[in-house]
Amino acid sequence: MRTQEPVILIGGVGRIGKTRLAKKLTRRTGFDLIHCDKFRRAFWSIADEQSRSAERFWSYEQAIANRCRGLIIEGDDLISRNRGDDALAKMGLIGNDNRLSLVLVGGA
């Protein structure tokens, strides 16, 4: 069985610096990077909203389950008020043994 590598989530409001931070961490760690905004746009062609959401979350789960090294996921999909309170659970990030770190970017 493969050792689970870390998953780093970077969330926050728009235009606050999530992508910049994610890129710096990617260069420093060598982890794979998923931009939620780009990932979400890939599924816009699916007309039914429920099907689109299910397909997107399934794709996140596959990316997480099949990673060979650490993974950084950044974007506003990680903000529960945008995606529902169970967004992280739907993405396969809560309720299992992933090594999970969460970074919220923004002002108080």
Question: What does the domain layout of the chain look like in residue ranges?
Answer: 6-105
- Confidence at residue 1, expressed as pLDDT on a 0 to 100 scale: 39
- Confidence at residue 31, expressed as pLDDT on a 0 to 100 scale: 93
Per-residue pLDDT tens over the stretch 4-60 = 678 888 888 788 889 999 999 999 999 999 998 887 788 888 989 889 888 887 887
Higher pLDDT, 30 or 102: 30
**Fold of the domain spanning 6-105:** Rossmann fold (3.40.50)
Map 23-85 to HEC letters. HHHHHHHCCEEEEHHHHHHCCCCCCCHHHHHHHHHHHHHHHHHCCCCCEEEECHHHCHHHHCC
**pLDDT band for position 89 (50/70/90)?**
low
pTM of the model: 0.74
